[in-house]
Amino acid sequence: MRCYASLCNLCVLCVSCGKSKQHHHRDTENTEVAQRNVHAKLSLLMVPEKLFALPLEQQIGQFLFIGLPGTELDAETRALIEEVQPGGIIIFGRNVASPAQLRSLLDGVRELLPIPPLCGIDQEGGLVDRLRRIFTPMPAARTIRQHGDLAAARALGRITGEVLRMLGFNINFAPVMSIMTEDRDLLSNGLYSRSYGRSPGEVLGYTTVYMRGLQGTGCLGCLKHFPGIGAGEVDSHEEMPVVQLSHDDLIAQDLAPYIELFQRRDDRVRCVMVSHGGFPNIDIEKEITGGRLEPASLNYNIVTKLLREELGYKHLVVTDDLEMGAIARHCEIEDAVVRASLAGEDMFLICASPEKIRRGYQGLLEAAKRGKLTQERVQESLERIARTKTIVEPPLPLDLARFQTLSHETIKLNSKLNYVYGGVVK
């Protein structure tokens, strides 16, 4: 409230000094924006109290990070949100038509929910760029690394964060932490251009400055895809990538950047996305004939024992999209969400199908009612979700002039890196 009071005093002072009506109008607008931000922040600080007071049906909804069908908050979308009351929303290219439309969509979702949602997006740059229809295409991680330009990584994080906050987001599912050596570049896992380095040191250096740029704007980042799928031979959108690395090899290579970031005093890493990779040299159910390989995202030994206990990570953990082929080919969505929760995940991404979102929600709810998901397990994840929601920032005002300035900054950044998006913007 102190910040709001000081802004009010500033307005009074400006009026008493005989400012013009135009300046007085602008000061009033600024005060109103500051007041809305204060109320929004106070609402976020009250999340834990509100969240634990919710009935079980709404508490279970907090575990879901869901995709929306289209660009508008139509009757179908409104019904889905009101039924599930999700803890998070994730946006894809299909949801994006214009800056004002996208901001209106997210604001509309917020108004429907009793607890402010996490609003996320995969805005990496390069091939994974959900905003290229309304904003200059952003450069790929590989391009930045090839130019050896740490300042470019920081600039990309800063631009991305400010753009996302103006559009209504509070979390970006980036950066990718995969290590892509020359040998791994030959694999068909879809990570070739999304990696910041060929070694743990390179990945750590670039992702650290990217995160500083991104989170310096008030937008949370999310490290992905734990514990590392750069050595997987296939894309998890299609099938489970199998990573034939030992525990010690993972610790020395793919997990090294995670370990360093987890141990830093600034405690910047507040969200980790777990992959659907299979790790046969770490964990396999040997009592089953032939051994059954459990995806990392559904695997207690990886999510809880490795990530939380061995590496000491204590904040939010989310799955990759549970509609990907790596999961959908092997189990139903009702089974997947329950297994993910039992593994230690906090939030589950179901990104496309309203029918599967509803089935996943009902599957979790039934598991909680039957006691398969214990009250203790539910409370553990609710506490981590609540802690995350108390630190996110309210959206910035949508300033289209500033939006355009940032778009021009991205054009200059692309020129500096000799980056040209090779696809079709549609």
Question: Active-site residue numbers?
Answer: 237, 320
What dihedral do alpha carbons 157, 163, 167, 169 form, nearest 10°? 10
Q: 318 near 62, Cβ under 8 Å? A: no
d(CA 147, CA 416): 9
